[in-house]
Amino acid sequence: MTKIAFIGAGSMVFAKNLVGDILSFEALSDSTISLMDIDEHRLEQTVEIAEAMVDNGRVDATIEATTDRREALEGADYVLNMINVGGTEPFENEIRIPERYGVEQAIGDTLGPGGIFRGLRTIPTLLEIAADMEELCPDALLLNYTNPMAIVCWALYEATDIETVGLCHSVPHTAEAIAEYVDVPQEELEYWVAGINHMAWFLECEWRGQDVYPMLEDAMEDDEIYEKDTVRFELLKHFGAFVTESSQHNSEYHPYFRTDPDLIEELTGTSYAERMPTATYLEGWKARSAERDDALADVDPGEVEIERSEEYASRLIHSIETDTPRRLNLNVPNGPGHIQNLENDACVEVPCLVDGTGVHPCSVGKLPPQLAALNRTNVNVQRLAVKGALKGDREAVHQAVKLDPLTAAELSLDEIHELTAELLAANEAYLPELN
């Protein structure tokens, strides 16, 4: 039987979806699923739902539960990582300290001061997980869901021998949005997407052999449609491609959208606070904390069914286990130059062919130069954040924040240095040792 370890399984809703995905495939329905979390209460909630799915679906899967990471990893074939390191305090610091300086992040989990410092506090734990895997399941595939995706995967590629791929649902979610805007069925779209996580580009998109881009450009002339996705439509208008992830996310990755409230109001017809609110993810995460502690309140285990979500993990595992070919957009090392005009050490998100022989990234050649240039502004930050984490290099952390497009658009170099120093001091307990 295939053994699949879930590290960070206390997030019941997300873990439930992934367990249901696995059980939805007959070929995987007798798997051993080992659920691990350091929070016993939240782990118990996930276990109850997982066992209910097994019972209600009459499948032969075995559900294991443990707070011991090494026990979960022992003999695993696949490891799904979904951890959150540090809890509320460092998350608050990563958003609120930059906000005091005028750097207003909506999400703060991918780039910017928030993404950099989230990466710094997450990488040491991921390296410990990888070290345990090298001892206990060296041939297992690590499937990472934790953000900042590119930063943490890059660190794993550089510092460990564990095969790692990063999984994100931004490509199918973006396809869903495009289908809505041009009013065609999502399942009839054909697309070719490449770039970096949360900033990958729909290089080609067709519906029944017809180029969707003229339809999308027509759609954005409709004010109602435009205001649903202002930043992505502005990027399309000025750079010629539609990007993955939402406008709210993408507003943080560029210097154009979060520094002038009047411009935002002009672009959107709504106030800055309504369109691009600061700390959206932080406030939502805090509000949902009580729900996570009582996740079974509105769930009847007797009614829980096995359902398949849009997440990639189960499809990837099924393809490898059954030699069923699929093409999925995954985060992998650029290596031999899957994207030729991005650096080989970068973590890129490209189409990958998956079958019984494993994961095979596709070459997409060169991105249009303007798109590669936008990607590089983020890759530069990611590289220095990884250096700071792996080398314990405090100066590299400072430089990463100084190169961040949003921060640099708002602050002087001295102000950024002061901001970074304050973040380092506030989050010292959660960070690797820095020289």
User: Stretch 158-169: mean pLDDT, rounded?
Assistant: 97
pTM to 2 decimal places: 0.94
pLDDT value at 274 more than 60: no
pLDDT value at 329 more than 70: yes
More confident residue, 106 or 255: 255
More confident residue, 297 or 165: 165
List, for residues 380-416, the tens digit of each pLDDT value: 999 999 999 999 999 999 999 999 999 999 999 999 9
**Which residues have a Cβ under 8 Å from the Cβ of 394 and sit 6 or more positions away?**
388, 424, 434, 435
More confident residue, 332 or 259: 332
Averaged pLDDT of the chain: 93
* Class of domain 3-167 (CATH, top level): alpha beta
User: Stretch 295-317: mean pLDDT, rounded?
Assistant: 85
Q: Where are the beta strands (DSSP E) in 105-172?
A: 141-144, 164-166
Domain definitions of the chain by residue range: 3-167
Q: Are strands 62-66 and 78-81 parallel, antiparallel or unpaired?
A: unpaired
pLDDT value at 302 more than 90: no
pLDDT for position 433: 86
Q: Model confidence at 16, in pLDDT bands (50, 70, 90)?
A: confident
DSSP secondary-structure letter at 365?
B
pLDDT value at 44 more than 90: yes
CA 372, 376, 379, 383 torsion-angle sign: positive
CB 354 within 8 A of CB 325: yes
Q: Are strands 141-144 and 78-81 parallel, antiparallel or unpaired?
A: parallel
Stretch among 11-15, 241-245, 375-379 having the lowest mean pLDDT? 11-15
Q: Model confidence at 114, in pLDDT bands (50, 70, 90)?
A: very high
Catalytic pick from 41, 169, 198, 360?
A: 169
String of DSSP letters for 368-413: PHHHHHHHHHHHHHHHHHHHHHHHT-HHHHHHHHHH-HHHHHHS-H
238 tagged catalytic: no
Q: Are strands 78-81 and 3-7 parallel, antiparallel or unpaired?
A: parallel
Stretch among 122-131, 253-262, 339-348 having the lowest mean pLDDT? 253-262
User: Stretch 362-384: mean pLDDT, rounded?
Assistant: 98
pLDDT value at 130 more than 90: yes
String of DSSP letters for 243-287: BSS-HHHHTTSSSSSSS-HHHHHHHHSS-HHHHS-TTHHHHHHHH
pLDDT for position 294: 67
